Structure 1
Amino acid sequence: MKLLELIKEAEARKVAIGHFNISDLAGLNAIIRAAKDLGVPVVVGVSEGEEKFIGRKTAVALIRSLREEYGYPVFLNADHSHSFERVREVVEAGFDSVIFDASKLSFEENVRQTKEVVEWVKSKYPDVIVEGELGYIGSASEVQKEIPAGAAIREEDLTSPEQAKEFVEKTGVEMLAPAVGNIHGIIVAPGFEERLNIGRIRAIREAVSVPLVLHGASGLPDQDFREAIQAGINLIHINTEIRVAWRKGVEEGLRANPDEVAPYKILPKAENAVYEVVKRRLELFGKL
C-alpha cells in the first residue's frame, strides 16, 4: 500500500503512524527493528541538516534497500523543507513525501508558496505526498531551556479551524500540520508544561478533508497522544526523544568499553536505547 493509503487506514482505525528522524545507521536500524517487531508501517524522516549529514541519495538508497529486502512498509520523508529548491531536490531524488514549511511567514505568503510547491510536485511526481504547515511551533529538535520565540502557545495563536480549511482548500496539500499546543524539542523552562489542545485538534479535523500530522511531539504525556489520536491526529513526529536516547546510549557504550575504538562495538547501546523509545511510542500510537 502507498503511504497516504496507510495513513487513511490508520485514521479509520483511530490509530496513528509513527514518524522518526535519523542521523545514522544506529537510529535507522532501531526504527526498522521496532516497526518490524510490532508489524506496523513507519515513516523515516530527515531534516535539512540530517539530510546533509547522511546524504540525500544515500538516504533514498537506504530506505529503498530496506523496503526491497524485507518487503516492508517503510517510507522516507523530507522533514521541514523551507525552500522550493529543496523540495525539488528531494522529490527528484526519490523521497516518498515532503513537508513544505512556510509557517513563519504570513498566512497569505504561506498559502502562495505552498500552493506553488504542491502544483509543481503533483504535476511531475503525482505519487509524492505534499504536507503543509500552518502555525509556527519552533524549529529545533533539542532540549531547550526557553520557549522558542514566536511559537504559538497561547490559545489565540493556535491554528484556527477556519484558517486550516482555507489553507487546505487554497493550497491542495494532502496532509496538514497545525499548531495545537505542540512545540519542537523538549522544553524544560521553569513552570512550563507542554499540553495539546484536544478540542482544537478535533475542530480542525472536522473542518478539513485531509489527515492531520502532529509535529514537535517529543516529551508529551501519553494521555495527550491517546486523546489527540482519537480527535484526529494520524501521523506523529518524534525526534528529540530519540536523539536524547541515542546520546545516552553512546555514553553508556563508552562507559562500558572505555578503551574501545570500534564504533560497531560502542553504538549497539545507542541503537538499543533508540529502539526502546521507538517501540514504546509505536505501541502507544497503534494501541498495541
Structure 2
Amino acid sequence: MPLVSTAELVTDAQAARSAVAAFNVITLEHAEAIAAGAERAGRPAILQLSENAVKFHGNRLAPIAAATTAVARSSTARLALHLDHVTEVDLLRAAHPEGIGSVMFDASKLSYAENVKATADAVRWGHERGIWVEAELGKVGGKEGEPPLDAHAPGVRTDPREAAAYTAATGVDALAVAVGSAHAMTERTAALDHALITELRDAVPVPLVLHGSSGVPDTEIRRAVAAGMVKINVGTALNTAFTGAARAFLEAHPSTVDPRKYLAPAREAMTGTVAHFLGLLGPLGLPESGATSSPC
C-alpha cells in the first residue's frame, strides 16, 4: 500500500476523537514489527525515525529511511513515515529528499524565545515543501544524554497560555506537551495530568502529542486520548520487548550464533506490543474501556 501522510492519520484520528500511535524504528525488525502489529490490530500507525536512530546508522538517513519505506509500502496497513526529535537543521533538510512527509523539530532545550525563532524557521521551511511539522513545548525528560528530570517538578509542564502563544508564533501543525510522562521509562508508572491535557486541548488549535508513552499505563493512555491527546509516541516499550525476548532465547540456547534464531522471537514480541498499544485506542478510533492486559 502506498505511504499515507502523518497529517492524514492525525486529522482522521482527531475527527474521530481518537488517537494514532507512532512507534520508533531502530532496526529493520522494528519496522517489520510495527507493520505486522498494525495489520494484526487493523489500525493505522506511524513509523518514526529519530535523530538518535539516524546517528546509530552512521548519521546516514537514506538507508534506514529507504528500508522503512519499503516495509511500509509492502504492508496492507495504512502507515506513515515520520522523522522524530530532530535538532540538527541538516537532518531536517534531509527529510524531503527521502520522501518523509512529517518531522518533529525539537528546539525544547532552547530558551522560549530561541525555541520560537528556530521552530518558526523550521515550520516555514517545511511548509514550503509540504512537510507537516510537530514541535515540543515544556520539558519531557528522559532523553538520551540529559540528566534525570522529575516530570512533576515546577516549571516542567506545558503552560496552556504559553502553548497558545507558541503555536500562533510558530505555525506548527502539532504540539508535543509535557503532562507527566518521560522518555525511556521501562516501568509503566507515569501519572498524567488529565486536567492539564484538557486545558491544553482547549487552548491550542493544533493536535496534541504525548511523548514517552511507553511509561504510561493503559488506563492513563485511554484517559489521555479522551482528554485530547491525538498522537501517542511509543519507543522504549518496543525495545523492552525486543531485548527481553532475545535475552530469553539466548539464555535458553546459549550456543546459538545465528541471529535469525533470536531476532525472530524478538520481532514477534515487538509485534505483540505494537498491536497491544494500538488496541488501546479501541474500535472505530474510540478509546476502549477494556483491554487492560500489559503489552508483551
What TM-score does the superposition give when structure 2 sets the normalisation length? Answer: 0.87
Q: CA deviation at 1:118?
A: 0.6
Give yes or no for the alignment of 1:249 onto 2:245: yes
Q: In the alignment, which residue of structure 1 is the partner of 2:190?
A: 194
The CA distance in 2 between the partners of 1:4 and 1:181, in whole Å, is 25
CA RMSD of aligned residues (A): 2.2
SS of residue paired to 1:267: helix
Q: In the alignment, which residue of structure 2 is the partner of 1:134?
A: 137
Structure 1 residue ranges without an equivalent (≥5): none
SS of residue paired to 1:157: coil
Q: In the alignment, which residue of structure 2 is the partner of 1:22?
A: 25
Structure 1 stretch 250-259 or stretch 200-209: which is displaced more? 250-259
Q: In the alignment, which residue of structure 1 is the partner of 2:293?
A: none
Q: In the alignment, which residue of structure 1 is the partner of 2:291?
A: none
1:2-22 deviation per Cα after TM superposition (whole angstroms, max 9, x unaligned): 321221221222221111112
Out of 126, 149, 152, the position equivalent to 1:121 is 126
Out of 197, 214, 218, the position equivalent to 1:218 is 214
Out of 68, 78, 82, the position equivalent to 1:77 is 82
Amino acid paired to 1:57: A
Q: How has the CA–CA distance of structure 1 residues 257 and 200 changed in structure 2, closer, same or farther, with 3 Å as cutoff?
A: same
SS of residue paired to 2:246: helix
1:259-283 deviation per Cα after TM superposition (whole angstroms, max 9, x unaligned): 2211112211111111121111110
Out of 195, 202, 219, the position equivalent to 1:206 is 202
Q: In the alignment, which residue of structure 2 is the partner of 1:165?
A: 164
Q: CA deviation at 1:83?
A: 2.2
1:104-156 deviation per Cα after TM superposition (whole angstroms, max 9, x unaligned): 21111100100011111111x11x211010011124369xxxx9445552355
Structure 1 stretch 153-162 or stretch 79-88: which is displaced more? 153-162
Amino acid paired to 2:18: V
Q: In the alignment, which residue of structure 2 is the partner of 1:258?
A: 254
Q: State the identity as a percent.
A: 34
The CA distance in 2 between the partners of 1:223 and 1:152, in whole Å, is 19
1:150-197 deviation per Cα after TM superposition (whole angstroms, max 9, x unaligned): 555235531111111111111010010011111112176xxx952110
Q: How has the CA–CA distance of structure 1 residues 187 and 36 changed in structure 2, closer, same or farther, with 3 Å as cutoff?
A: closer
SS of residue paired to 1:209: coil
Give yes or no for the alignment of 1:56 onto 2:61: yes
Structure 1 stretch 87-96 or stretch 129-138: which is displaced more? 87-96
Whether the aligned pair in 1 keeps the contact of 2:135 and 2:174 (CA below 8 Å) is yes
Q: CA deviation at 1:246?
A: 0.8
Q: In the alignment, which residue of structure 1 is the partner of 2:94?
A: 89
Structure 1 stretch 8-17 or stretch 243-252: which is displaced more? 8-17
Q: CA deviation at 1:23?
A: 1.5
Q: CA deviation at 1:94?
A: 2.0
Whether the aligned pair in 2 keeps the contact of 1:66 and 1:72 (CA below 8 Å) is no
The alignment covers a number of residue pairs equal to: 279
Q: CA deviation at 1:201?
A: 0.7
Structure 1 stretch 38-47 or stretch 152-161: which is displaced more? 152-161
Q: CA deviation at 1:215?
A: 0.2
Q: How has the CA–CA distance of structure 1 residues 52 and 10 changed in structure 2, closer, same or farther, with 3 Å as cutoff?
A: same
Amino acid paired to 2:108: S
Give yes or no for the alignment of 1:103 onto 2:99: no
Give yes or no for the alignment of 1:268 onto 2:264: yes
Amino acid paired to 1:4: A
What TM-score does the superposition give when structure 1 sets the normalisation length? Answer: 0.89
The CA distance in 1 between the partners of 2:89 and 2:147, in whole Å, is 25
1:209-266 deviation per Cα after TM superposition (whole angstroms, max 9, x unaligned): 1111100111212111111101110111111111111111111221233222111122
Amino acid paired to 2:112: F
Whether the aligned pair in 1 keeps the contact of 2:5 and 2:102 (CA below 8 Å) is no
